[in-house]
Amino acid sequence: MVKAAVDDQLSRTFAALADPTRRAILARLAQGSATVGDLAAPFEMSFAAVSKHLRVLEGAGLVARGREAQYRPAMLDARPLVAASAWIQDYHRFWEAGFDALDDLLATTDTTERKDDE
């Protein structure tokens, strides 16, 4: 399998969000900072596996790590999600325009059918 280079921020963000475990980790971090142990608790995986997910999220700029004594709590950094949301919003407008045109067509068709029934 060929692995595509992920070199721009938007690609790194979407690549990180592609995994359901990473999305669940982000959802947990939206509630506040957490240690690897805290994040691993709801999953049947090792701390090392959770740490790998955190490294991907850090690489995408979605997670920052702090330092509290011997702990390195992870914190959500949602700034990269702004660009991802804006990109998705452009397509939302595209789909809305298509649905509006379909509504207009259906309204016209419905009116034409009523006239034919009379």
37 and 67 inside one domain: yes
pLDDT tens-digit readout, 3-46: 454 569 999 999 999 999 999 999 999 999 999 999 999 998 99
pLDDT tens-digit readout, 59-118: 999 999 988 777 889 999 999 999 999 999 888 887 887 887 888 888 888 665 566 565
Q: What is the CATH number of the domain that holds 8?
A: 1.10.10.10
> Rounded to whole angstroms, how far apart are CA atoms 25 and 116?
58
> Rounded to whole angstroms, how far apart are CA atoms 16 and 8?
12
47 and 15 inside one domain: yes
**What's the structural domain count of the chain?**
2
Q: Which domain holds residue 97?
A: 79-118
27 and 56 inside one domain: yes
16 and 27 inside one domain: yes
pLDDT confidence band for 55 (50 / 70 / 90): very high
pTM above 0.85, yes or no: no
Contacts of 6 (CB under 8 A, 6+ apart): 12, 15
